[in-house]
Amino acid sequence: MKVWFLFLLVTFGVTVCSAQKVLQIERFGSAKTKKIFIGEEINYRLKGDKTWYTGVIQDLLIDEEIILLQERYLRINDIEIIRERKTWSKPMGRQLYNFAGGWLLFSAGGTLVGWEFGWDTVIVAGSAVLTGFLIQKIFKYKKYKIGKKRRLRMLDLTMINPSFGP
């Protein structure tokens, strides 16, 4: 058991981590941060431009404050807004679509036993579809505006290997 633990400690304790450079979004006065690592996709808008760009971070040049993407590089000071896709809005909208379909299906099946299929049924299903569509469109992204409240920083968390011996 001790030999196995020593083997795991040496094997995983000495390996180099590839995600030691981090792009970090900080909010002034808050300890919470949003970290973006090398290899992740970044969706951003430049200052003075209304077009959204997307790229995968290849490397971060800490001293020059440059983000290297697949096809281009950009300075950290040129970024106005970073946005990330929210993962809950699309499934929530789909669930409301499913609810509307089920509501119409069971209401149509209810006509076989004598229930009335009226405008109230259509209004409930239509409002569920409309609510699902609006949730998907409104809550699709979370935007981080870089400026007075937030700042974008690069961190290098590389650990220096101490040299043992003379």
First to last CA, the chain: 34
| pLDDT tens-digit readout, 92-113 | 999 999 999 999 999 998 888 8
The pLDDT assigned to 16 comes to 47
What average pLDDT does the structure give for the chain? 87
Q: Does the pLDDT of residue 18 top 60, yes or no?
A: no
Instruction: Give 156's contacts (C-beta < 8 A, 6+ positions apart).
Output: 20, 21, 60, 62
Question: How many CB atoms within 10 Å of residue 96?
Answer: 21
Which residues 6+ apart lie within 8 Å of 19 measured at CB? 37, 38, 39
pLDDT tens-digit profile of 124-155?
A: 999 999 999 999 999 999 999 998 899 999 99
* pLDDT reading at 2 higher than 80: no
Helices (H), the chain: 2-13, 89-110, 119-138
- pTM assigned to the model: 0.67
Domain boundaries of the chain, sorted by first residue: 17-85+141-156, 89-138
What are 103-106's contacts with CB under 8 Å, separation 24+?
A: 103/128
